[in-house]
Every structure is written in C-alpha cells, then in structure tokens.
Amino acid sequence: MSKILLGVSGGIAAYKAVEFVRLAVAAGHTVRVLMTASSRRFIGAETFEGILGSPVLTSEFEKDPLRGSFPGEQLPGHEPIGHLALVESADVFLVAPASANTVAKLAGGQADSMLTTSFLACEAPRLVAPAMNERMYLDPATTRNLEVLSERGVDVIEPGSGSLASKGEYGIGRLPEPAELLRRVESALNGDLSGFRLLVTAGGTREPIDPVRFVGNRSSGRMGFAVAERAQARGAEVILIAANVNMATPAGVTRHDVETTSELAVACEDHIAGSDVLVMAAAPADFRPVQVSSGKLKRTDDFLELRLEATEDILATLSNRAAAGQTLVGFAAEHGGDAEARAREKMARKGVDMIVMNDVSDPRIGFDSSVNAVTIISSSETVEVEIAGKHEVADRILDSARLIHLKKSR
C-alpha cells in the first residue's frame, strides 16, 4: 500500500480531510498530514493525530518527531531536513482542501510553510483539490493559478457544485467527497497510463547458422506480451516488437516482428524517439555466428566448429542516446548467488532507470511459465513481487515504471 502525504489548508472543507484520512487508512495506506497555520483555525491537528498516531507538521522549521518517516517505518538514524525527507519517501502528495491563497502560493512557487516547501520539493505525483467560494474560484487570478499548476503536471481535481459554506450561497467550489479524493489519489498511484507511449520488446532473438539452424534462447515472450497487454488496457499507446513469439497480438497493440538481434536493434532505434517508456523484456542473443552458411550444413561425424561474435548491447546503446525525459526499463535473468547485487550492477552498467530481476534458478518460474516472481529495482526502491500470474507482475512493473517516469518528466 502507499504513502500519502496530505496537505490541508484553511477552509471550512478541512473537516472533509479528516474523513479522507480515515478512508485512506482503512484502505491500507499510511498518511502523514501537513497543515497550514490557518487550517488550524478550522480543525485541530489533534484530530488527525488521533486517527493516524503520527504528528502533524505546520512549520518548515519544526522538528519532525518521526524524522521524515511514515507510520510503521523505521526511523532514520540521523535528523533529516524535514520538508525534504517526507516528500522524498511519499508516493503521492494531495493538497485538500486547497484554499485560494494556497493555490496562489503553489502556483507562484512560494515556500513559506511546511506544506508549500514540501510541495515545491516533491517529485511524486501531486494533486490539488481547490475548495472555496464560487466568486473566489472563478476569479481570473485563481483560474490562471490552477492553469499554471496543470501546465506543470499537477493533477487539479475539479471542485463540485452545490450549496457552499456561506449561508444561502450555491455554486461551484465544493471539495469533492473524501471517497472521490481517495479514488483520484489511487488512480494517480496505480493506474492510468493514458497519454503514455510505451515501446515493449518481447521474445528471444535467433541468429542463423545456416538456412535451417540458429543460435537462440528459451525466452517465450510471455512476460513482454503481458506488459504490452496490461499497458494498453490501462490506456497507454503501445508498440510491441516481438522476436520469434508464437502468440496472438494483444488487442489495440501495434506489433512488429523481428528475428535477429540486429533487426531488433533497428526496430528499437526506429521507434524509441516517440516513446516515453521502453520496457526491454526481450532476450537478445548475445552471440551470433561470424559466418552464416548459405546452404544447409552437412552432418559430419566428428566436430563442427562455430565461431561466434558478440552482438550489440541494444539497451546500453539506447540508454546512451535516450532523451532526458525517457524512462528505460531493463530485465535481468540472474542465476542464484547474489542475484540482486548483480542486477544493480547491470542497472548501472546499462544506464537504465529500473531493472526487473528474476532468479532463473528458482524452479517455480521456468521460461515458458505463466507465473513469475521478480524483484523490481530502481535507485529509489526495491519491490519484491511474490509469485503471481504474469499479468499481475506486468501491472506491478508498470506501476513502478509509471512512478519513475512521472518523477523524471516533472
């Protein structure tokens, strides 16, 4: 479950933030709350602290008794800088309610409280739920401030219409119900890939020895196909490059078939420029015969010597040329021993943002298996995905890749 940072600013709708926290905790998330000074005139910090069992912070200078950790986490040994530590470990930051004043500060990049400094330093997905009187909401100053936030990738949650706090007034400006806020937060965390362009490779390449024989590997392509299928179902535009995969193309996915590592390299080069995320699930053959016989080699009674040369490392080449906002995901099939350390080394060597590692010495997860168990490794986290269907594993891979990409493209 996820770590939600909630910023509460001054407004009567602050009482709805309490219900949000209660629902979020009931759904299994952990929450830390930052309140502006004026929000404390509407609701007490003790209310949140009672529900969460963790302190609320208001000033950027105040010491955090939890040292930037979330409830249930181990406290770091040192005293970190408060507004940097909390946002670094948060998975998402929601400001609800966001008053006109707080919206203006966030749009202007001001940093004069724990809430505003944290918001500015936050690389996780950020959501802002404005709630105020209709005239304040519709004033061009507020409209423009919200546009500025949207342009910077902040998810602005439209307020609802109905009766407003001031007696007899009716209009737009109501904070959405807490369940709706939680739904928006959860979809920011897990879900929606619309607007994402994914390039996925799958299968194993084959390097011809002669017209009927090849050097290849046992990759079935099932994991890459599952990633392509789930990404498309979650709204992404997906191009799938399949190397010798005998499976139907997932609906809505554009497929290109290749055979050899160099064909795979060319196809990747052709499509990488328009992609936000590359998921390199294919297993390219690492060696190819130096000479390919044009006729079928005859059987001999003693030895046939094959001289092999290394193929190009596609991922390493692509990462050298990747644009700043592109996210590259590699796979690492490791065999026993300190598999995670080797995968980390591979992540650095290939210059990728994330590595999906599986330990192929585990007998439960064969090459052609419909299940998998992986460790997702990035510079910010290590996620163990216990044995599960390849579609579920695909979703977990996409969740992590999506968060990394959102952080990178801020």
Interface positions with ligand CTP (CB under 6 A): 261, 280, 282, 284, 286, 311, 313-315, 330-333, 346, 350
Nearest Cα neighbor of 267 from 212, 320, 205 is: 205
Q: Which helix (H) or strand (E) holds 277?
A: strand 277-280
- For 182-221, strand residue ranges (E) read 197-203, 207-208, 214-215
Which CB atom, from 308 or from 333, has the smaller least distance to ligand CTP?
333
> Beta strands 382-389 and 371-378: pairing type?
antiparallel
Rg over alpha carbons for the chain, rounded to the nearest Å, is: 26
Residues 223 and 357 sit within 8 Å (Cβ to Cβ): no
Which residue reads 């003693």 in tokens? 302
Q: How many residues does the chain have?
A: 410
Residue 264 tokens read as: 């795979």
Which CB atom, from 7 or from 224, has the smaller least distance to ligand CTP?
224
Which CB atom, from 185 or from 314, has the smaller least distance to ligand CTP?
314
Distance separating alpha carbons of residues 220 and 372, to the nearest angstrom? 13
Residues 287 and 207 sit within 8 Å (Cβ to Cβ): yes
Q: Which long-range contacts (CB under 8 A, 24 or more apart) does 231-236 make?
A: 231/193, 231/196, 231/198, 231/200, 231/279, 231/394, 231/398, 234/191, 234/192, 234/193, 234/194, 234/395, 234/398, 235/192, 235/193, 235/194, 235/195, 235/196, 236/193, 236/194, 236/196, 236/197, 236/198
| Shortest separation between residue 320's beta carbon and ligand CTP, angstroms | 12
| Shortest separation between residue 141's beta carbon and ligand CTP, angstroms | 49
Active-site residue, selected from the candidate residues 101, 133, 190, 217: 217
| Shortest separation between residue 398's beta carbon and ligand CTP, angstroms | 16
Residue 276 tokens read as: 């936000």
> Residue 158 to residues 103, 143, 163, 337: CA-CA distances in angstroms?
13, 11, 16, 51
> Beta strands 308-310 and 371-378: pairing type?
unpaired
The helix/strand/coil state of 367 is coil
| Shortest separation between residue 376's beta carbon and ligand CTP, angstroms | 13
| Shortest separation between residue 261's beta carbon and ligand CTP, angstroms | 6
| Shortest separation between residue 208's beta carbon and ligand CTP, angstroms | 16
Q: Is 217 a catalytic residue?
A: yes
| Shortest separation between residue 54's beta carbon and ligand CTP, angstroms | 40
Cis peptide before 250 (omega within 30 of 0): no
- Active-site positions read 217
